[in-house]
Chains A and B, each alone.
Chain A
């Protein structure tokens, strides 16, 4: 079974706007990661945030982590058509390379 839920399930925004998606998980984690998947292809790693971190940035990506609420958010600023994809959060428990994925958010950027 999956670790948690992501919301929204689907999101459509205009190019240039910011996109925010959320991930909730159920148990304590070691790391939380975000991945992107284009049209049923392989997943691409975007960013990793450790359980003792609260915020992390990478280019146009900003990730926050609230371990008290067991939730994370991914913000993509100044969206581009190429950002159209599905986004998944994934958690691990430390010392265990098994990743547990969320349900994913389907993001569509409208040119």
Chain B
């Protein structure tokens, strides 16, 4: 079956702009998580959505938000971009039930803020 698809793969934005990233999980998976990866901070958890509800949230400012649609596709939005938001943003989908914590990752969106 198809894997996790993230779009776009690469993005360049200017400080102060906003950006929306998209993630399509594996068919049948209802949990979608987002992670930010930077050389300095490593892999940091942003948030997790399950059946259109945010179930977990990491320690990121309110400029970072997300949502999930009824087909489980998810988007994350970053407003008022800062240089420090430059990172690889990874989306992961998990199985239908709690306890299935093996995550399937997309290839990521490389965001560069200039």
Report A's interface with B, CB cutoff 8 A.
1-2, 30-31, 33, 35, 40-45, 48, 88, 90, 92, 94-104
Contacts and interface: CB of A to CB of B under 8 A. Distances in A.
A42 B37 CA distance: 10
A97 B103 CA distance: 9
Interface of B: 4, 31, 33, 35, 37, 42-45, 48, 50, 55-56, 58-59, 88, 90, 92, 94, 98-99, 101-108, 110
A98 B90 contact: no
B42 A97 contact: no
7 pairs of A and B residues whose beta carbons are closest in the complex: A42-B105, A101-B43, A43-B105, A98-B56, A42-B107, A92-B101, A45-B102
25 contacts: A2-B43, A2-B44, A30-B101, A40-B88, A40-B108, A40-B110, A42-B90, A42-B105, A42-B106, A43-B90, A43-B92, A45-B102, A92-B101, A94-B99, A95-B98, A97-B33, A97-B48, A97-B50, A97-B55, A97-B101, A98-B56, A99-B45, A99-B92, A100-B45, A104-B43
